[in-house]
A and B are shown apart, each in its own frame.
Chain A
């Protein structure tokens, strides 16, 4: 079966540095996949390559078998690829509900709703992510965890088939992370394929069926979380060589 998203040798260079260096993997429909890696591993760059924000320097990205490399971000979005930004980018002058309704008004090409229906959809998405009570607030009145929820809500409202979440848990405390995980599970259960890009390991283990580890722009490991996290190269990349040696008992 053709995978939903297929990355082949994806490469992105900035000057002489290859931020993403020949990354290859594929995502099946309905999966919930974690992408982790230390700072500078190329996680966000990879996401920008998929969503069309960056142009590839090499390789190809296929959506249901058709190449989407080089498409403008709005075209990728219309195919059904939603995303969030690590540094949230809300529409500041709008209320929470309006932010989400704009997502519903545009987004995936399938059945673009009229204004009234978009606001109805916004309400049901806000219910899903737990922001129903704050729908009429201006964005400036939201706390950081709520702003991250709003970022997710706007992306979910675009009716994506694949949702790319860029560090939606970063900066949250443990209780807030549990709430956010609950939200991610709820979104996944609506039938959306989810890619969770995270720095925090705990998040991935809690919710993902499969994990990809990036380091210095390359794929270091790809597999079930408990297997991957015991992989020596992963431990080395994350915690340094000395720690890895100590684990080995050296």
Chain B
């Protein structure tokens, strides 16, 4: 067994241990577990953080299907998150549907919207598509907040939508596992896509769309399908979020920052790979929370007043991302699995690739 294989095994074992901990630790917050005096591994705060992290795993992994595999930099995927949230929200709050019946319609609505928007938009290339999709992302949020019918806001307007609390025992745990399930589904879908005719078609489009077309790939249909698949997964996360959070409005369902964050997570972890975006989501989400002081561990820096930490967090994030894009364009996932090692030679090679 070579050294790299040994490292690979160690990393797989470590990875499984980390995942097992993340999945099982919240169980110690159950009343039963506490009554038995089992050591508490997570408190409420960690718990909420874990659910949000899983939500970003879904979004980054879904973005990877259109942005990473197909090579179309979608900057408006938050629209699908919001549409998913509002589909579930409207059905629960206005039509009085039960949550579990309303949830499956969130990905459906987001996918239908993606098909309608994708047909004209996916004819654009490169920067043009990125900017146009950003426009859609912003516009949908504004429409949802401002559309009126006979003086009454259709989607709750600026005051948002309230849903009744979903009655299950251990509600937080329930939503954590639901979100985790969505993350698992996203990763499994990506895994299956990469190994299919569909996936090879998408990668062919990314590498050379004209060449893909002349070997018989129906490029328009493939691009729209990839966009709709990404939308469905993102919409699912939105649907879960709506009922978990009980209250939705434009600000929490269409945050433009999510657009940037999901892309950065995918880039950081490694676009076009199965686990890269998920890894990037975990790392970046923890980093964001840590730097903004939401974690119990805080950092005391000389010369930096405590209230300046969130600003510093943004600066550190920005610098980090610039470094990743320049020096590790294939993402941190490239260092796992024994293909490449983080050496000076690797950084120099990357720099040659990414510069003119």
Within 8 A of B (CB), among A98-113: 98, 101-103, 105-108, 112
Cβ B197 vs Cβ A115 within 8 A: yes
Within 8 A of B (CB), among A51-103: 51, 53, 72-74, 76-78, 82-83, 85, 89-94, 98, 101-103
Output the residue of A53, A101, A105, A115 with the most chain B CB within 10 A: A105
Cβ B214 vs Cβ A83 within 8 A: yes
A91-B208, A93-B207 known; A102 vs B214 contact (CB < 8 Å): no
A105-B197, A115-B195 known; A85 vs B216 contact (CB < 8 Å): no
Cα distance A92–B289 in the bound complex, in angstroms: 38
Check: A44 CB closer than 8 A to any chain B CB.
no
Contacts of A53 in B (CB 8 A): 210, 213-214
A91-B211, A94-B207 known; A74 vs B200 contact (CB < 8 Å): no
Check: A158 CB closer than 8 A to any chain B CB.
yes
A93-B272, A115-B195, A115-B197 known; A106 vs B217 contact (CB < 8 Å): yes
A103 nearest CB neighbor, chain B only: B215
Give the shortest distance, in Å, between B347 (CB) and chain A (any CB): 19
Cα distance A92–B212 in the bound complex, in angstroms: 12
Cβ B208 vs Cβ A108 within 8 A: no
Output the residue of B206, B211, B212, B214 with the most chain A CB within 10 A: B214
Cα distance A53–B218 in the bound complex, in angstroms: 13
Contacts of B214 in A (CB 8 A): 51, 53, 73-74, 76-77, 82-83, 85
Cβ A107 vs Cβ B216 within 8 A: yes
Give the shortest distance, in Å, between A152 (CB) and chain B (any CB): 12
A94-B203, A106-B201, A115-B195 known; A74 vs B217 contact (CB < 8 Å): yes
A91-B204, A115-B195, A115-B196 known; A85 vs B217 contact (CB < 8 Å): no
Check: A43 CB closer than 8 A to any chain B CB.
no
Cα distance A115–B207 in the bound complex, in angstroms: 19
Cα distance A105–B217 in the bound complex, in angstroms: 9
Contacts of B213 in A (CB 8 A): 53, 72-74, 77
Contacts of A102 in B (CB 8 A): 200-201, 203-204, 215
Beta-carbon contacts of A137-161 to B below 8 Å, as 1s and 0s? 0000000000000000011001000
In this complex, how many residues of chain B approach chain A with their Cβ under 8 Å: the count is 21
Cβ B215 vs Cβ A101 within 8 A: no
Cα distance A112–B216 in the bound complex, in angstroms: 11
**Contact size range, A:** 20 to 34
Give the shortest distance, in Å, between B191 (CB) and chain A (any CB): 14
Output the residue of A74, A82, A108, A112 with the most chain B CB within 10 A: A74
Contacts of A89 in B (CB 8 A): 208, 210-211
Cβ A158 vs Cβ B207 within 8 A: no
Check: B70 CB closer than 8 A to any chain A CB.
no
Contacts of A101 in B (CB 8 A): 200
Cα distance A225–B144 in the bound complex, in angstroms: 69
Give the shortest distance, in Å, between A74 (CB) and chain B (any CB): 5
Contacts of A94 in B (CB 8 A): 203, 207
Cβ B211 vs Cβ A106 within 8 A: no
Contacts of B216 in A (CB 8 A): 74, 77-78, 106-108, 158
B330 nearest CB neighbor, chain A only: A93
Contacts of A98 in B (CB 8 A): 200
Cβ B210 vs Cβ A91 within 8 A: no
Give the shortest distance, in Å, between B226 (CB) and chain A (any CB): 16
Contacts of B253 in A (CB 8 A): none
Check: B133 CB closer than 8 A to any chain A CB.
no
Contacts of B196 in A (CB 8 A): 115
Give the shortest distance, in Å, between A96 (CB) and chain B (any CB): 13
Contact partner of A91 (CB less than 8 A), chosen from B197, B203, B219, is: B203
Cβ A155 vs Cβ B210 within 8 A: no
Cα distance A89–B211 in the bound complex, in angstroms: 6
Cβ A85 vs Cβ B201 within 8 A: no
Give the shortest distance, in Å, between B231 (CB) and chain A (any CB): 23
B210 nearest CB neighbor, chain A only: A89
Cα distance A83–B219 in the bound complex, in angstroms: 17
Output the residue of A51, A85, A102, A158 with the most chain B CB within 10 A: A102
Give the shortest distance, in Å, between A203 (CB) and chain B (any CB): 22
Contacts of B219 in A (CB 8 A): 74
Give the shortest distance, in Å, between B353 (CB) and chain A (any CB): 11
A139 nearest CB neighbor, chain B only: B207
Give the shortest distance, in Å, between B70 (CB) and chain A (any CB): 13
Give the shortest distance, in Å, between A21 (CB) and chain B (any CB): 24
A94-B203, A105-B197, A105-B200 known; A74 vs B218 contact (CB < 8 Å): yes
9 tightest Cβ-Cβ pairs between the two chains A and B: A91-B207, A77-B216, A106-B216, A89-B211, A73-B213, A89-B208, A107-B216, A74-B218, A78-B216
18 CB < 8 A contacts A-B: A53-B210, A74-B216, A77-B213, A78-B216, A82-B215, A85-B214, A89-B208, A89-B211, A90-B211, A91-B207, A92-B207, A102-B200, A102-B215, A105-B201, A106-B215, A108-B216, A112-B197, A158-B216
| A-B contacts besides A83-B214, A102-B200, A105-B200, 4 pairs, CB < 8 Å | A85-B211, A98-B200, A102-B203, A106-B197
| Residues of B near any A CB (own CB < 8 A) | 195-197, 200-201, 203-204, 206-208, 210-219, 272
| Residues of A near any B CB (own CB < 8 A) | 51, 53, 72-74, 76-78, 82-83, 85, 89-94, 98, 101-103, 105-108, 112, 115, 154-155, 158
